[in-house]
């Protein structure tokens, strides 16, 4: 989304406990992110399939030509905002063939940049928001040789029935946590972690004036960054015997 997010993501992987990340291809800072990823082929990253825009002061649009995806646009001709009303209207209007056109445009832009993603996941639409969108995404993953992040109960059961690995434990989104006392909350969550595969979606940013001007969630992101790169985080992983993996392990399993 922003340069502050790009910098924090790289630092959280290279100097912290994060192991994979996701790329929002339509966003203004995506070219910088792709250049940084090109220089770091060891980093596992996914295509964060994006059909909404929550930043009115930092707008992005679809990768496909707008006239090719009209059902994905609001009355002003922009991507819907991910408010409850905006999501509901998008999911009611979106034609599956236009969703596929936009998803392919985002994946193909990454491929054209010479990058090799490991997985697909969704921005602000849990498991795609509709069964047919999830089915489409799983089919695209098979075509492109990628894994898919799936985390709601019904979809997890469906993937397991197909022999595809998904998380065993509840998925965590850091925007659901209070800013105050977040480090202590993360520490408790790590200590209470159940055996099995767990995924946390954490949203780091270095913050600063630029981030504050365009990103309403910058404080959430800044506190995430502080935890991910803290000595405490690495020590907790060692104490609790938590093995952190990247998405390449899942990608290999999804390719079988």
Q: Ramachandran region of residue 124, left (φ > 0), alpha (ψ -120 to 50) or beta? A: left
Report the C-alpha gap between 232 and 186 in whole angstroms: 10
pLDDT of residue 106: 99
**pLDDT given at position 160:** 96
pLDDT at 212: 82
Output the DSSP codes for 98-113.
HHHHHHHHHHHHHHHT
**CA–CA separation, 50 vs 36, rounded Å?**
20
Distance between CA atoms of 105 and 47, rounded to whole angstroms? 11
Fold category of 3-254 in CATH: TIM Barrel (3.20.20)
CA 250 – CA 256 distance, rounded (Å): 10
The angle subtended at Cα 252 by Cα 246 and Cα 254, nearest 5°, is 105
Torsion of CA 185, 13, 203, 8, to 10 degrees: 110
Contact in structure between 201 and 174 (CB atoms under 8 Å): yes
| Per-residue confidence (pLDDT) for residue 256, from 0 to 100 | 79
Interatomic CA distance for residues 253 and 163, integer angstroms = 9
Beta bridge partners of 52: 80
Query: So what's the pLDDT on residue 135?
Result: 98
- pLDDT the model gives residue 207: 87
| Sheet-wide strand order for 20-23 | 20-23, 44-49, 119-122, 147-148
Q: What are the structural domain ranges in the chain?
A: 3-254
Question: Mean pLDDT in each 10-residue stretch from start to end of the chain (256 residues)?
Answer: 95 98 97 98 98 90 98 97 97 99 99 98 96 98 98 95 94 93 94 95 90 84 96 96 96 92
62: left (phi over 0), alpha (psi -120 to 50) or beta: beta
For tokens 């993996």, the residue is: 245
Query: What pLDDT shows up at residue 104?
Result: 99
DSSP string for 114-151: T----EEEESSSGGGSSHHHHHHHHHHHHHHT-EE---
User: How many C-beta neighbours within 10 Å does residue 123 have?
Assistant: 18
């Amino acid at each position: 989304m922003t340069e502050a997010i790009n910098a924090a993501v790289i630092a959280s992987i290279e100097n912290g406990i994060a192991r994979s990340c996701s790329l929002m291809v339509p966003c203004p800072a995506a070219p910088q992110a792709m250049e940084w990823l090109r220089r770091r082929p060891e980093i596992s990253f996914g295509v964060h399939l994006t059909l909404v825009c929550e930043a009115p002061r930092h707008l992005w649009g679809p990768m496909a030509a707008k006239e090719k995806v009209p059902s994905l646009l609001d009355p002003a001709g922009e991507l819907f905002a991910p408010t409850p009303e905006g999501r509901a209207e998008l999911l009611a209007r979106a034609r599956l063939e236009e969703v596929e056109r936009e998803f392919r445009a985002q994946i193909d832009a990454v491929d054209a940049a010479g990058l090799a993603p490991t997985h697909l996941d969704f921005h602000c639409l849990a498991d795609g928001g509709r069964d047919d969108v999830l089915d489409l995404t799983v089919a695209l993953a098979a075509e492109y040789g990628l894994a898919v992040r799936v985390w709601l109960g019904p979809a997890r059961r469906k993937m397991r029935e197909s022999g595809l690995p998904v998380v065993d434990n509840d998925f965590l989104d850091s925007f659901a946590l209070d800013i105050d006392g977040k480090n202590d909350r993360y520490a408790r969550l790590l200590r209470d972690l159940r055996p099995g595969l767990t995924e946390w979606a954490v949203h780091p940013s270095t913050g600063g004036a630029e981030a504050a001007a365009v990103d309403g969630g910058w404080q959430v992101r800044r506190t995430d960054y502080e935890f991910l790169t803290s000595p405490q985080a690495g020590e907790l992983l060692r104490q609790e015997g938590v093995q952190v993996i990247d998405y390449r392990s899942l990608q290999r399993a999804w390719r079988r």
